[in-house]
Structure 1
């Protein structure tokens, strides 16, 4: 479980590394770019023997500041995590603090360069595509301020329709039916999920919904015929998913960098340009690992111009997707020829973790 960052957190006294990451490290920053701080902290080995495990990372509410524990860092490096790998290759002008243990970790960074790194870079890149599509949907289909109502996921098959000869029993939306669930009681319909028998009691009723759930009532036998008005179908799963989508949308609206979305909101682009820029950047970095044994962090020259052109909307979505597929094809050709191990040696990574931790403990006594 992550812990909220603050300068007073105990880990703040155990910082091994701190840098400015993200677009400022890549060379793609503009006037609207945030400043992303990334770093590592270390804890005594004995702290991992406590029942309350220490946090794997500490971060602020928006993840603009994130510090990983040394243990978590090496764990993620061993899994070929692109975000952690780039911390070992930060441009000098981005580094704010580097303790001896971090310098040793950087000298050992080739341990974490493997063919698997290319695969994870490709996987992370295409997750950016999925993210861009999802957020593009938010731009084009904004959510109303009011959260979705349970009643909008209710349908009825009214009793009066039962007696209509030849009429199919198609459910109708609750809205517009004239039925007020506040004046009704519900009883579960046997052998059916999310279906209920509905009875009208007028102002004396306690209502169908109590909070976020349907409260089923025992219905007296005498009321079965005179108060039964039909069947209620409630798609609770769809309502809960709509509520999650609504919460995610408005969290995104509150926390987003508004300048980033102007092109889409003005109808100039039909995709998230920043996400697709990072898609291509990640793919170029994965290709760099196979070509020269190191990720691409600071982008320069033609590659930088390409990324900036993507962010400014010069290319159509289909053109960017073709670029991505071409880089992936290059990676597939390079992979068999790359003089790299398949993945990180876990024993060597564990030994490095122990060595760095012991060195820090000895130095800080």
Structure 2
């Protein structure tokens, strides 16, 4: 997709909100292409995805108002408030870190403050990448593998894939909600009394004085994984096949990008070297058995990078805070 075409679209009435919304306009620090254009995997039918960062207004920072992000679903545009953006970056969220690693020619707005964020992306990087990139990718790939092999895998084997996906999500849950251990929430597979199942996943819970809302959210996230498997197991159309190919392409991309981050090479959103490979996967050139072999290879590279990474255990909170103060001071004072 031609960049000039996207620039022309951004100047059209469809994107008037960029200029008229009180949280956007001159407050935008970064506005960049996202999705397939940013990755280099776009095709003729690809949509335009736009992501960005905006600085909150004075009343949002010092007054009674609040602002976290702006979203326009019709154009697939998401623009984060600076404080929320930095919070997500500190957790090494892949979707927001990618904003700091897009190609310069994919930037439609970049202020001095936005450049400061991009120039200091290393401050946000830590071993949290292992979980944010790796656990998400491997869990999703195992779900994909289960869906594709549903006709040949026995029910008990599918149940193992579901359990592995949930266990892979556990590290995220432990960081997000009040801490718990494997002894407090224990998942395992055992014989089932259900007529249509040989085995199934069971849970032992031993929680005391635990926040009900946190537990509700933990249960909901685990339940969503089970529901997603059910949806994948009912795929039966060419459209679903194309969707799974695209899904596999992006998950392998995530493993490759995460490996580079763990190796200390920073965030490189545009994947020029792998572009042809990704498009071949998307277009169905590879058998799924070949894709799973690739997955095993890239997972091993990711694990090796994780074991030898020079990244710190935690991000540099002090310097990130200093960066935030510098940006807010420049804009507000």
Q: Deviations over 1:37-77 (max 9, x none)?
A: 111110245523434422x1101125611101111111000
Is the alpha carbon distance of 1:52 and 1:354 closer, same or farther for their aligned partners in structure 2, counting shifts above 3 Å?
same
Aligned match of 1:143 = none
Aligned length: 235
Does the 8 A contact of 1:16 with 1:102 survive in 2? yes
Gaps of 5+ in 1: 138-240, 250-260
Q: Quick one: distance in 2 between partners of 1:299 and 1:265?
A: 30
Does the 8 A contact of 2:51 with 2:78 survive in 1? yes
Q: Deviations over 1:273-323 (max 9, x none)?
A: 11110000000001111224313311123x222111110112233332332
Shift of 1:114: 1.9
Within a 5 Å distance, the mapping from 1:1-365 to structure 2 comes to: 6-7=17-18, 8-13=20-25, 14-44=27-57, 46-54=59-67, 56-62=68-74, 64-126=76-138, 128-129=140-141, 265-266=237-238, 269=241, 272-301=244-273, 303-362=274-333
Does the 8 A contact of 1:40 with 1:68 survive in 2? yes
Gaps of 5+ in 2: 1-15, 150-222
Q: Quick one: distance in 2 between partners of 1:324 and 1:278?
A: 12
Q: Quick one: distance in 1 between partners of 2:34 and 2:272?
A: 16
SS in 2 for 1:43: coil
- Normalized against structure 2, the TM-score is what? 0.63
SS in 2 for 1:88: helix
Is the alpha carbon distance of 1:348 and 1:46 closer, same or farther for their aligned partners in structure 2, counting shifts above 3 Å?
farther
Shift of 1:132: 5.4
Q: Quick one: distance in 1 between partners of 2:243 and 2:106?
A: 30
Aligned match of 2:198 = none
- Normalized against structure 1, the TM-score is what? 0.58
Q: Quick one: distance in 2 between partners of 1:95 and 1:10?
A: 21
Q: Considering Cα pairs closer than 8 Å and 6+ residues apart, tell me whether 1 or 2 has the greater RCO.
A: 1
Which structure has greater helix proportion?
Answer: 2
Q: Which structure: larger Rg?
A: 1
Does the 8 A contact of 2:113 with 2:327 survive in 1? yes
Q: Deviations over 1:207-264 (max 9, x none)?
A: xxxxxxxxxxxxxxxxxxxxxxxxxxxxxxxxxx9xxx9xxx9xxxxxxxxxxx9xx7
Q: Quick one: distance in 1 between partners of 2:66 and 2:57?
A: 12
Q: Quick one: distance in 2 between partners of 1:109 and 1:45?
A: 25
Does the 8 A contact of 1:39 with 1:66 survive in 2? yes
